[in-house]
Amino acid sequence: MNDIILKAQNISKQYRLGVVGTGTLGHDINRFWAKLRGKDDPYLQIGAVNDRSASASSDYVWALKDINFEVKRGEILGIIGKNGAGKSTLLKLLSRVTSPTTGSIKTKGRIASLLEVGTGMHPELTGRENIFLNGAILGMTKIEITAKIDEIVDFSGCQMYIDTPVKRYSSGMRVRLGFAVAAFLEPDILVVDEVLAVGDAEFQKKAIGKMQDISQTGGRTVLIVSHNMGSIQQLCDRCIVLKNGEISFDGATKDGIEIYLTENAEDNTNNSIGDFIINQDDDEFRLDSFNIYQDESPEGVFYTNLPLMVEIKFELFKSLIGCRVGYDFIDLKTNSLLFRSYHDDANTEIKELEKGEFICRSVISSNLLKDGSYFIQLAIGVHNKRWIIYNDGLGKNIEVKNLEGINAVYMEDRPGLIMPSLNWETIKK
């Protein structure tokens, strides 16, 4: 128990929809009267589940409900879940930005938080002045801050602008400086919310390395929220999955990511395209169907050692020069775009598709994909003119299993985004 640095016990957070504060004077009087009689808050007995896609069934909503977990010293804990699941609310409670409606949070040591871009930064003060301000808030002395300031400025990459007011910083510069301050002033618990989503690739690499360093060598605890499953997988040994304000999983990172992706796939079922007509508002193009299949696999299950067929049926109501029909192939585990493919990739010049009905098929080679979850998103447009279908959720989630494909006999999670079958030659001398 001595190595537990943070403990959340039955914490819940309730909000009243559409109202700032506790609501009406009548509600406040009812709460006060119940408290005088030693009764529970009457408005804690009601409240809708935190499901942003559902219609409001009550004036109150539980942003978080009965959250329990412990974090050990030196642990990096990932917190994942779809938008609106309660992740940022949880971090605000842990950072004492707001207080829980019920329950308690016990911590040991100083907490530094980076919840939003520029959080804790005074826009009128310079970067240097903000470093001293944030250090003082964390309980550091001026001597301690001065000893660290060169490292902070160097890590942030804002040397040229360190004496410029923060209001003139870009969002990326603000988050770099904010993260540097939070990390280098040696808090016992570092809380970060989507920091890696703002910075560039160089900063993301430095931030990941710094969080690993402060955990492994400094023995300090990190709580991180991110939608980048690659970063969560790389950083965290343990993660919590939030769904509708409740913990749906607490355990190994790999298992948590799989549960999160499975839940998202189930939630996105209504976005997948079957054999029905959509996009009727377009006067040039109509999508009739979008299908993914393998000749020897049951519906909805795909195998790495078999070719994967992608078929798009559509109709053109007029001839189009440069009409391109294709898709993006996305790895859901890392949220990475593996490749984009168009029906005319082999063409050496831009051609015209005549008016009429078409079927476009492509084959993804066997022994190319790894075992995992993928999203195939339609990318259809007219070259250099407009998108017809793109980035609007129109696609299909698929699960690919590696039962008899490459590396199946070793049962290991091979690194890399794909697992191609290459031609090898072994010569004994």
pLDDT of 309 above 70: yes
Contact 324, 383 (CB under 8 A): yes
Candidates 277, 314, 274, 269; CA nearest to 293 is: 274
pLDDT of 201 above 50: yes
- Specify the CATH number for 273-401; select among 2.70.50.60, 3.90.930.60, 3.40.50.720, 3.40.50.800: 2.70.50.60
pLDDT of 402 above 50: yes
pLDDT of residue 385: 86
pLDDT of 47 above 80: no
Hey, what CATH topology would domain 73-266 get?
Answer: Rossmann fold (3.40.50)
pLDDT of 139 above 50: yes
Q: What whole-number distance in Å separates Cα of residue 210 and Cα of residue 200?
A: 15
Helix (H, G, I), strand (E, B) or coil at 270: helix
DSSP 252-284: EHHHHHHHHHHHHHHHTGGGS--SS-B-TT-SS
Q: What whole-number distance in Å separates Cα of residue 239 and Cα of residue 232?
A: 8
What are the residue ranges of CATH 3.40.50.300 in the chain?
Answer: 73-266
Q: Is the pTM of this model over 0.85?
A: no
269 falls in which pLDDT band (50, 70, 90)?
A: very low
What are the residue ranges of CATH 2.70.50.60 in the chain?
Answer: 273-401
pLDDT of 350 above 60: yes
pLDDT: is 403 or 59 the higher one?
Answer: 403
CA angle 208, 213, 216 (to 5 degrees): 125
173 falls in which pLDDT band (50, 70, 90)?
A: confident
> Percent of the chain scored above 90 by pLDDT?
26
Candidates 44, 16, 49; CA nearest to 244 is: 49
Question: Mean pLDDT score of the chain, rounded to an integer?
Answer: 81
